[in-house]
């Protein structure tokens, strides 16, 4: 009588705990939000601005430099992490870039009057933030069970939003301090967040896919067991290991992948890489980051009776509230439908806020005593739809592109393809933060019409180019792309079942790799 191996009941508790920790997007979220409030703090303006008519003022050009240098650093960091993720592993890379981020924060906090020093500090911190923004989806995509992978990656976006909200609250609490403590406290607190992430060296496991790709089979087996909370000899561990090994063997047959392979026709890699980059591009031009970076300054001209700090805190709370349902929607509504619905809702908010603001707001700099009831009501409408815009973004376009980026690529090119997507995000984040204050100074609320046009474009792009990946393992996503499934039919895709298919897939990929070698010889 054949004895059937007993199975332990797997749980996702360990994977969830690790994902919550590693998805410490709190770093980037806090850094986005904190600078917004600092830009209008009197002591900050006195130290880093210029004197105009006897009053210290931070010009739009200086605002652009201070804000955008973080984004410039994130662009570089998101590309550099592709090298460290492969050579040092996902775990070691996370720790390296966390340390770099902390160094950048120290430089910023130690600044006295030097505009150059604070911008250099933001650039160095940006290196860490950009690298981590690419490694986190990569790590979570490789360690999370497929049933909850989307939710785990959404935790990254959720923690970004939490970081933004906390920074607004701290800015609200410190802005009235009549010294450099008003901005040093919120800026310096980032050191604490960096040190928390650095502490991960004591308990973070390496990615099982990375370990197996390096031939460290016993370590891989132990990590799989740990993530599923089962014994090392449980059948689930062996099955998962076998599934990973087949995919890795097939991918490694072609030799080491280069950057250009991300755009090769093999396995539709060009389509997948382009989709990852396009979603990040569209996400940045949704309009929400305009509110995050320059909301304090922008809302001052809306004539509201509320403090700009209070409005920003409200926006932060709305963002947190919007991201909570995303944890459920991402794996139930799906990636594709989330993006389509989000495009429509945000486009509606952007066009209403832009037109109402343009036709009803008073010119910038108008004294509060001179504002008419029409000006005030227009400002209230603009702020209301800005809040709705941010809420819709947090539910749909905020987390979904990162989820898609983390689950769309085979192991062979995954670090490089994710790096390209993240770099696209940070490139447009830099351009947005650098040019937005200049554009808003010229056309005011009509800048929101630019975001409206991009959201309309985004709807059509998603409909015709983005397939549904909900509920599929990373290997099944690979199969769907190879099968050439139409995006609008992808929700009906059923992956092949059984080892016969897996073996055939492996043989086909090996044959493709052999042909590639022969043609290059």
20 CB-near residues (< 8 Å, 6+ apart): 155
- Quick: pLDDT tens for 343-397: 999 999 999 988 988 888 777 667 767 778 887 788 788 888 888 999 999 999 9
Res. 335: pLDDT tops 60? yes
CATH topology assigned to domain 10-204: Growth Hormone; Chain: A; (1.20.1250)
Res. 317: pLDDT tops 80? yes
Pick from 12-21, 209-218, 332-341: least confident: 12-21
Q: Is the pTM for the entire model greater than 0.75?
A: no
Considering only residues 471 and 335, tell me which one the structure prediction assigns the higher pLDDT: 335
Can 10-204 and 261-509 be said to share one CATH topology? yes
Considering only residues 411 and 2, tell me which one the structure prediction assigns the higher pLDDT: 411
401 CB-near residues (< 8 Å, 6+ apart): 276, 279, 280, 282, 283, 339, 421, 425
Res. 194: pLDDT tops 80? no
Res. 221: pLDDT tops 50? yes
Res. 292: pLDDT tops 70? no
Domain coordinates in residue numbering, the chain: 10-204, 209-255, 261-509
pLDDT band, very low/low/confident/very high, at 23 (cuts 50, 70, 90) = low
Res. 12: pLDDT tops 80? no
Strand pairing partners for 52? Answer: 55
pLDDT band, very low/low/confident/very high, at 15 (cuts 50, 70, 90) = low
pLDDT at 508: 47
- Name the burial class of residue 320, with classes exposed (0-12), middle (13-18) and buried (19+) by CB atoms within 10 angstroms of its CB: middle
User: Closest Cα to residue 383, out of 291, 452, 474?
Assistant: 291
Q: Give one DSSP letter per residue of 154-191, joined into a string.
A: HHHHHHHHHHHHHHHHHHHHHTT-SSTHHHHHHHHTHH
Q: What is the C-alpha to C-alpha distance for residues 333 and 317, in angstroms, rounded to an integer? A: 23
pLDDT band, very low/low/confident/very high, at 203 (cuts 50, 70, 90) = confident
pLDDT at 330: 85
Residues 63-89 have a mean pLDDT of 82
Pick from 70-79, 91-100, 500-509: least confident: 500-509
Residues 191-216 have a mean pLDDT of 76
Strand pairing partners for 55? Answer: 52
pLDDT at 371: 75
pLDDT at 154: 74
Considering only residues 517 and 481, tell me which one the structure prediction assigns the higher pLDDT: 481
Q: Which CATH number fits domain 261-509: 3.40.1390.10, 3.90.1150.10, 1.20.1250.20, 3.20.20.140?
A: 1.20.1250.20
Percentage of the chain beyond pLDDT 70 is 82
Most confident of 190-199, 248-257, 301-310, 501-510: 190-199
Q: What is the C-alpha to C-alpha distance for residues 96 and 127, in angstroms, rounded to an integer? A: 11
Considering only residues 147 and 191, tell me which one the structure prediction assigns the higher pLDDT: 191
pLDDT at 455: 96
Q: What is the C-alpha to C-alpha distance for residues 469 and 473, in angstroms, rounded to an integer? A: 9
Distance of CA 257 to the CA centre of its chain: 25
Pick from 144-148, 272-276, 411-415: least confident: 144-148
**Average pLDDT of every residue of the chain:** 80
């Amino acid at each position: 009588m054949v004895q059937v191996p007993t199975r332990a009941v797997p749980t996702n508790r360990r994977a969830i705990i690790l994902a919550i920790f590693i998805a410490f997007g709190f770093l980037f979220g806090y850094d986005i939000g904190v600078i917004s409030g600092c830009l209008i703090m009197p002591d900050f303006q006195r130290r880093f601005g210029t004197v105009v008519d006897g009053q210290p003022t931070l010009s739009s050009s200086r605002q652009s430099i201070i804000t955008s240098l973080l984004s410039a650093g994130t662009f570089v960091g998101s590309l550099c992490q592709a090298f460290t993720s492969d050579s040092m592993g996902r775990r070691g890379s996370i720790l390296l870039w966390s340390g770099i981020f902390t160094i950048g924060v120290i430089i910023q906090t130690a600044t006295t009057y030097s505009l150059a020093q604070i911008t250099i500090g933001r650039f160095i911190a940006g290196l860490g933030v950009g690298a981590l923004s690419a490694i986190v989806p990569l790590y979570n995509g490789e360690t999370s069970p497929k049933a909850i992978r989307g939710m785990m990656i959404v935790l990254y976006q959720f923690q970004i939003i939490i970081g933004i909200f906390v920074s607004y609250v701290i800015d609200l609490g410190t802005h009235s301090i009549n010294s450099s403590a008003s901005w040093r406290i919120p800026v310096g607190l980032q050191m604490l967040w960096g040190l928390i992430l650095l502490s991960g060296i004591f308990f973070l496991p390496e990615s099982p896919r990375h370990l197996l790709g390096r031939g460290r089979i016993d370590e891989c087996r132990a990590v799989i067991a740990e993530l599923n909370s089962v014994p090392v000899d449980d059948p689930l561990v062996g099955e998962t290991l076998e599934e990973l090994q087949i995919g890795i063997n097939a991918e490694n047959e072609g030799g080491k992948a280069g950057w250009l392979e991300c755009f090769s026709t093999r396995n539709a890699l060009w389509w997948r890489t382009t989709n990852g980059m396009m979603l990040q591009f569209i996400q940045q031009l949704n309009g929400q980051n305009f509110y995050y970076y320059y909301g304090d300054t922008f809302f001052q001209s809306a004539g509201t009776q509320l403090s700009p700090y209070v409005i920003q805190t409200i926006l932060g709370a709305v963002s947190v509230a919007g991201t909570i349902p995303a944890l459920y929607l991402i794996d139930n509504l799906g990636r594709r439908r989330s993006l389509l619905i989000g495009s429509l809702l945000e486009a509606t908010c952007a066009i209403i806020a832009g037109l109402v603001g343009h036709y009803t707001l008073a010119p910038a700099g108008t004294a509060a005593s001179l504002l008419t009831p029409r000006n005030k009501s227009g400002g209230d409408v603009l702020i209301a739809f800005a809040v709705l815009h941010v809420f819709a973004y947090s539910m749909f376009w905020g987390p979904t592109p990162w989820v898609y980026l983390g689950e769309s690529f085979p192991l062979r090119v995954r670090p490089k393809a994710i790096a390209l997507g993240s770099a696209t995000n940070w490139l447009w984040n830099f351009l947005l933060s650098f040019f937005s204050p200049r554009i808003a100074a010229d056309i005011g609320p009509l800048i929101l019409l630019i975001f409206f046009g991009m959201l309309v474009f985004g709807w059509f792009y998603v409909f015709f180019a983005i397939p549904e990946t909900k509920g599929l393992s990373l290997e099944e996503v690979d199969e769907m792309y190879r099968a050439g499934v139409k995006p609008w039919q992808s929700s009906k895709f059923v992956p092949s079942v059984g080892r016969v298919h897996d073996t055939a897939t492996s043989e086909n990929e090996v044959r493709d790799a052999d042909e590639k070698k022969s043609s290059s010889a």
